[in-house]
Structure 1
Amino acid sequence: MDRSIIEPPVKGSATRFKAGFGQRSLLTVDTEEEFDWEGPFSPSGHGLDHVPRLAKFQQFCEGIGVCPVYLVDWPVATSEVAMEILRAPLQAGKAEIGIQLHPWVNPPFEEEVNTFNSFAGNLPPDLEERKFFKLRDEIQKNFGCAPQIYRAGRYGLGPSSAKILKKAGVAIDSSVRANFDYSPGGGPNYRDHPLEPYWVDSEHQLLELPLTTVFWGMLRKQGRALYPALSRLGKVNGIASRLGMLERIALTPEGVSADEALRGIDIAIDDQLPVLVLSFHSPSLVPGHTPYVRTEDDLDELYEWWRRIYAYLDQRGVKPTTVAEIMQSAEV
């Protein structure tokens, strides 16, 4: 019997890629509605004002030679504006689409809306499955292609998630945020999960593609053991980072400076990670919708972050990849 997707994989599960694949990067976009990040979860009261900006972002990606993966949730999957913007690049192979399940805005609405149930994996398995398939079918109908990658909203995988993905024929999950622990809020603990891609199941039907988060600093080899304790000490954690002792770096422009991300890329390359998974939330494309982009200057910095990161990746020989290429290159 396969282990649960929320458990670390067994030894020997790491995925090998065909010769010539090298090291690649994948840009994932959590393409979702706007909501109050500080407020309670709600099935209503959200917005989609930023969705027209996807056109500019797509044009930007094409200009730097990157094929973004839009992981769309229910409000975006049913948005006529999103369909109009994304259908052409999807059909041209200049973008890819995936699934992102935010259960609190995704029918059927049967559960109590609260923090615990905001992690889809905490729902009763039947309800998680019905929400997932309703979203999957809506994406396929509205965008004209079958999504092959999934990310649970809030990284909220559960014991039944892998079974659902395999039943749907989805080839890749990218919900594991290695080196993060969401259990204090009722979510999964990914603190001990690997950073490299690995097979979830013994049949090699479901590939896990963890988001890339590395430890940097003199104590980085002890990062998994030390970081949780330092985090509980508050300011001590910041001091450890400033002194170059230990810093956790996620490859995202949201809350991570370009200089920090470049250090993280060096670590990921040195550790020979075959795929570097970068991410951000689509509402950051308009100031005021996320804590990370409050002003037009912040938005300019967001785009400059991407320019610097992809210029450096190119310099280091890390080429952009796609979900399709990863599926073709993973050795079964």
Structure 2
Amino acid sequence: MASRSIPEPPPRHAIARFRDRIPRYMLTVDTEEEFDWDKPLTRETHGIEHVGRLSKFQEFCEHEGVVPVYLVDWPIANSRLAAEILREPLARGRAEIGVQLHPWVNPPFEEEVCQANSFAGNLHPGLEEAKLGRLRDAIEDRFGMAPLIYRAGRYGAGPNTAAILGRQGIAVDTSVRPKFDYSSAGGPDYRRHPTAPYWLDDGRTLLELPLTTCFWGLLRRQGDWIYPALWCAPSLRGLLSRVGLLERVPLTPEGVSVEEAIRGIDMALDEGLPLLMFSFHSPSLRPGDTPYVRTEEDLDTLYDWWRRVFTYLDQRGVKRSSVKDVMLSIER
């Protein structure tokens, strides 16, 4: 069965639903190397010194009753320490593992390292598949189980990605970030994509779980056309947010306050969204490795963000979920 191009919005009939109609949420972790986000990408200048911090985060999630989904890229897939920390939780079903492709650090190395090629979907399809296949196999070998979920690094899915995932035995994609546009850097434009899960093929074998972003404010119903129109006027976007007219709220602790996140949760649930997809980057678990966590106090704030969000989701009756739960509960 032919797959649809992930950068293209799906037809209305492709929207997926859960049989029990209970809203759910998932926590995904872009589990990746550290690098300087303000400098050009290279194959060499990165580290994995934060990996030991995954142990505390996994313990935290287990205490909260949440199953994190670790989307692992090549440097992490080849980290012995990462495997030592995650193998047991994965085997016990207390964590799940997936693929995250950063092409610039993932062999085979045949392409030029540049902005456009950092979006895997821009690569020649044979090279995109070769990189993804090498990574998928490395994860299965190192962590003891085959990954079933994929996220393109930098959300860089392309016209061939869905077909490649099908051939590689990947059942779920989570590369789409609705209400964001990466086309100015050579990436995809997801502004017209739905925030609800949807099928990427007519045979309903490949499921898209988009990351959750909502508009909040008095102008939220018009957000899909107002926000892009202000692309060249970030100060005006900030003004609209400060006065409560329009704010874009991605569900992440990175750059989003817990109060903003709760507003986003309310908007998503009020709109009937069946699945809330949260995300953040694993280097944020060590101060200084991302712009979002610079001090130990910032790290405490990140953990507190998750505690408060989990508590609020419980209050709203939102069920903790996982890839396994989604695949068992989704209508086909």
Q: How does 1:257-272 map to 2 (within 5 A)?
A: 257-272=257-272
Q: Distance in 2 between matches of 1:82 and 1:282?
A: 12
Distance 1:32 1:62 in 2: 21
Can you give the 5+ residue segments of structure 1 that lack an aligned partner in the other structure? none
Quote how far apart the aligned CAs of 1:231 are. 3.2
Contact 2:125 2:160 in 1 (8 A): yes
C-alpha distance in structure 1 between counterparts of 2:17 and 2:298, whole Å: 39
Residue 75, structure 1, aligned to residue 91, structure 2: no
2:4/2:162 contact within 8 Å kept:
no
**Secondary structure of 1:42 counterpart:** coil
- Which residue identity does 2:18 align to in structure 1? F
Q: Does 1:4 align with 2:25?
A: no
> In the alignment, what sits opposite 1:121?
121
Deviation at 1:234, TM superposition (A): 2.0
Aligned pairs (5 A) from 1:283-322: 283-322=283-322
Whole-angstrom CA distance in 2 between matches of 1:178 and 1:217:
18
> Does the residue aligned with 1:16 lie in a helix, a strand or coil?
coil
- Find out whether 1:145 has 2:160 as its counterpart: no
| CA distance in structure 1 between the aligned counterparts of 2:13 and 2:298, rounded to whole angstroms | 43
Deviation at 1:198, TM superposition (A): 0.3
Query: What SS class does the counterpart of residue 248 from structure 2 fall into?
Result: strand
SS at match of 1:159: coil
Q: Secondary structure at the match of 1:12?
A: helix
What residue number does 1:185 align with? 185
Q: CA deviation at 1:330?
A: 1.1
Shift of 1:230: 2.2
1:164 positional shift: 0.4
| Distance in 2 separating the partners of 1:78 and 1:331 | 36
Partner amino acid for 1:35?
F
The answer on whether the counterparts of 2:43 and 2:105 sit within 8 Å (CA) in structure 1 is: yes
Between the aligned partners of 2:259 and 2:287, the Cα distance in structure 1 is 22
* Shift, 1:272, TM fit: 1.1
What is the SS of the residue equivalent to 2:12?
A: coil
- Alpha-carbon distance between aligned partners in 1 of 2:262 and 2:226, rounded to the nearest angstrom: 22
- State how far apart, in whole Å, the 1-side matches of 2:283 and 2:98 are: 17
Could you tell me the percent identity over the aligned residues? Answer: 62
- Is 2:196 the partner of 1:196? yes
Superposed CA offset, 1:95-140 (max 9, x none): 0000000000000001000110000000000000000000000000
Residue of structure 1 equivalent to 2:211:
211
The separation in 1 between residues aligned to 2:16 and 2:88, in whole angstroms, is: 32
RMSD: 0.8
Aligned length: 331
Letter in 2 for 1:9: P
Greater Cα shift, 223-232 or 311-320: 223-232
One-letter amino acid of the structure 2 residue matched with residue 215 of structure 1: F
CA distance in 1, matches of 2:244, 2:15: 30
CA deviations over 1:23-48 (Å, ceiling 9, x no partner): 01000000000001011111112111
Task: Give 1:136's aligned residue.
Answer: 136
Residue in 2 that maps onto 1:239: 239
Q: Distance in 1 between matches of 2:279 and 2:4?
A: 27
2-side partners of 1:255 and 1:287: how far apart? Answer: 15
Q: 4+ residue stretches of structure 1 with deviation over 2 A?
A: none
1:4 Cα offset (Å): 1.1
- Secondary structure of the 1:308 match is helix
Residue-by-residue CA offset, 1:30-74 (whole Å, 9 max, x unaligned)? 000000101111111211110000000000000111000000000
Task: Quote the Cα distance in structure 2 between the aligned partners of 1:301 and 1:176.
Answer: 27
**Distance (Å, rounded) in 2 between the aligned partners of 1:5 and 1:237:** 28
Aligned mates of 1:47, 1:66 — CA distance in 2: 28
Q: Is the 8 A contact 2:99 2:136 kept in 1?
A: yes
SS in 1 for 2:109: coil
1:144 maps to a residue whose letter is: G
| Per-residue deviation, 1:2 | 4.1
Stretches of structure 2 lacking an aligned partner (at least 5 in a row): none
User: Structure 1 length normalisation: TM-score?
Assistant: 0.99
Task: Give me the TM-score of the superposition, normalised by structure 2.
Answer: 0.99
Give the aligned residue type for 1:119: F
1:277-288 alignment to 2 at 5 Å? 277-288=277-288
Q: Which structure 2 residues correspond to residues 28-67 of structure 1 after superposition, within 5 A?
A: 28-67=28-67
- Larger displacement relative to structure 2 (227-236 or 61-70): 227-236
